Amino acid sequence: MAYTGQVTTATPVEALKGMLKDNPDYAQGWHDNIAMCCYDAMRSEYGEKLDHDAAHRLANDGAARFMNMCFDVDTLKERAEQAEVKKLHTTEQVIGVGGKIK
């Protein structure tokens, strides 16, 4: 169900699901906040025993699973697409548009 901005008989979770599906940036914000909660919990429990990168990967995986299971939103796909766009922009900044080195 897509969010229309109008009050409907949908449950609050259904309305939230619609908003998250319609707005990838909003969904990514939810993902990021969930991932940080997971990260903080892991680091406070295990400290330096758990590598920062490993905790980061696990936290993002957990957040993505939660978003997919609860809201049917694939935030890993969004994250991969954003990383690809960022990579392309970085390449253009280094090499320059048209392949000429700056």
Task: Indicate whether 94 pLDDT > 50.
Answer: no
**Stretch 25-48: mean pLDDT, rounded?**
95
pTM: 0.68
Residue 25 corresponds to which amino acid?
D
CA-CA distance, 87 to 47, in Å (whole number)? Answer: 32
Q: Which of 91, 62, 7 is nearest to 99 (CA)?
A: 91
Task: Indicate whether 101 pLDDT > 60.
Answer: no
**87: in domain:** no
CA-CA distance, 14 to 55, in Å (whole number)? Answer: 31
Task: Indicate whether 95 pLDDT > 50.
Answer: no
For 19, the enclosing helix (H) or strand (E) is helix 12-22
What is the model's pLDDT at position 9?
Answer: 61
Domain count along the chain: 1
Q: Residue 69 sits in which domain range? A: 12-73
- Per-residue pLDDT of 43-93, as tens digits, reads 999 988 989 999 999 999 999 999 999 999 999 876 666 666 555 555 445
**68: in domain:** yes
**94: in domain:** no
**85: in domain:** no
